[in-house]
Amino acid sequence: MGRKGYERLRLNSKVWPIDHPHPAFPEEKYNWAWILNVKLIYRHSPPTAWFEAFVDSGSPWCLFHASLCRPLGMELEGGVRDDLGGIIQGPKVPMYFHRVKVVVGLEQFETMAGFSWGLTVGGILGRRGFFDNFNVSFDSSADPPTIELMRTYRV
Amino acid sequence: MAPEERIAALKKAPSNSWVAFSEDESRLVAYAATYEEAVSEAQGRGVADPVLVKVPEDWAVRVMSA
């Protein structure tokens, strides 16, 4: 089984606020983050509006904020239940997996993604669904930093 | 939109709200408490296909992993 690649999409990263400059990095007034605009489709729903999702290779799955469920016509608690936790120890919050299509640029992929009220951002693009459908490379040496995506297909 | 403008727009947003930017992300269009309100307000202001940002409770630096 091989993998076939298509056109590359190169995007600038986006700035993300910080409360105050970190004492270890006093010159940095904000962070650069790998953020992509995505839309979601559930069954035959119209797509959501574009919203920002963080690219996160540390996340096993794609995750989205639960407030997107109602406009998609999705019953949150009808999904497959799990608990969402972070790498910092703390209470876990429920999340529910649903099969959705995720639109990135002109591409889309289908995946089981978790939805939770506990997510602090609109979305996270993790390994299952995103990283197994795109060859992703980061260039932090560029100014601004860039991210390059190439959709891959199993053949 | 310059990085400093985007930072200012996001930091002015209430905690846990949603921010809508124009299609090309050059301009702030709306702040709203919910995703649906943000879409509705943006479309009401003539932005048919806005880009939304979910604002966290605070701007503490987080390690993005779950």
Q: What are phi and psi of A136, to 5 degrees?
A: -115, 130
Check pLDDT > 50 for residue A1.
no
Q: Could you give the CA distance from residue B35 to residue A52 in angstroms, rounded to a whole number?
A: 12
Check pLDDT > 80 for residue B36.
yes
B6/A22 CB distance under 8 A: no
Q: What is the pLDDT of residues A114-133, one digit of tens each?
A: 999 999 999 999 999 999 99
Q: What is the pLDDT of residues A18-36, one digit of tens each?
A: 988 889 999 989 999 999 9
State percent of chain B over pLDDT 70. Answer: 92
Q: Could you give the CA distance from residue A91 to residue A93 in angstroms, rounded to a whole number?
A: 7
Q: Which of residues 104-123 of A touch B (CB under 8 A)?
A: 119-123
Contacts of B47 (CB under 8 A, 6+ apart): B20, B22, B23, B29
At A72, which helix (H) or strand (E)? helix A69-72
Q: Could you give the CA distance from residue B60 to residue B64 in angstroms, rounded to a whole number?
A: 12
The CA dihedral of B38, B41, B46, B48, to the nearest 10 degrees, is 40
Q: Which of residues 36-65 of B touch A (CB under 8 A)?
A: 36, 39, 42, 49-54, 56-65
Check pLDDT > 80 for residue A4.
no
Mean pLDDT calculated for residue range B58-64: 74
Check pLDDT > 50 for residue A40.
yes
Q: Which of A18, A59, A67 sits opposite B66 (nearest CB)?
A: A59
B7/A65 CB distance under 8 A: no
Residues of A in contact with B6 (CB under 8 A): 14-15
Question: How many Cα atoms are found within 13 Å in the side-chain-facing hemisphere of A120?
Answer: 14
Q: Are strands A63-65 and A80-84 parallel, antiparallel or unpaired?
A: unpaired
All structural domains of chain A, each given as residue ranges with its CATH number in brackets, are 3-15+35-154 (2.40.70.10)
Q: Could you give the CA distance from residue B43 to residue B39 in angstroms, rounded to a whole number?
A: 6
Q: How many CB atoms neighbour CB A6 within 10 A?
A: 11
Q: Could you give the CA distance from residue A68 to residue A4 in angstroms, rounded to a whole number?
A: 32
Give the model's confidence band at A153: pLDDT under 50 very low, under 70 low, under 90 confident, else very high.
Answer: confident
The CA dihedral of A81, A108, A6, A133, to the nearest 10 degrees, is 0
Q: Is the peptide bond before A71 cis (omega within 30 degrees of 0)?
A: no
A124/B66 CB distance under 8 A: yes
